[in-house]
Amino acid sequence: MDGVPEPHAGWTFITNHARVLAAIADNQNARIRDIAAHCRLTERAVQKIIADLEESSFLSHTREGRGNAYRISPGKTLRHPAEAEAGLTVASLLGLLAQDEAHRGAGRQATDHG
């Protein structure tokens, strides 16, 4: 079946909600299909995650033509009590994920050119 993400068994450090949020931060006009492919999730799962994020005011969207433009609430405090007490925000989470992505991208470039 082409286009269906490979299932993952076991736990991970980064939740699918964080992955979707990071993908939207990279491209606020991304289509659900593109987010799903990037995050290796089904489109249905991405739709549910976006609904969760919007319901909790971490994300909103406006219609632009046939697509959506998403807006992230960077100052919103994270949900877990330990993170909330530390004052960690969506912006701090996305900053960590962006640093990780930049690091992985630099590693790929080094192996591609070496």
What is the percent of the chain with per-residue pLDDT over 70, rounded to a whole number?
79
Query: Which has more confidence, 15 or 113?
Result: 15
Q: What is the mean pLDDT of residues 10-36?
A: 94
User: Encoding tokens for residue 62?
Assistant: 């406006």
Cβ proximity of 59 and 21 under 8 Å: yes
The answer to whether residue 18 scores a pLDDT higher than 90 is yes
Q: What pLDDT, on the 0 to 100 scale, is given for residue 47? A: 98
Q: What is the pTM of this model?
A: 0.79
Tell me the C-alpha distance between 114 and 112, whole Å. Answer: 6
Q: What pLDDT, on the 0 to 100 scale, is given for residue 4? A: 59
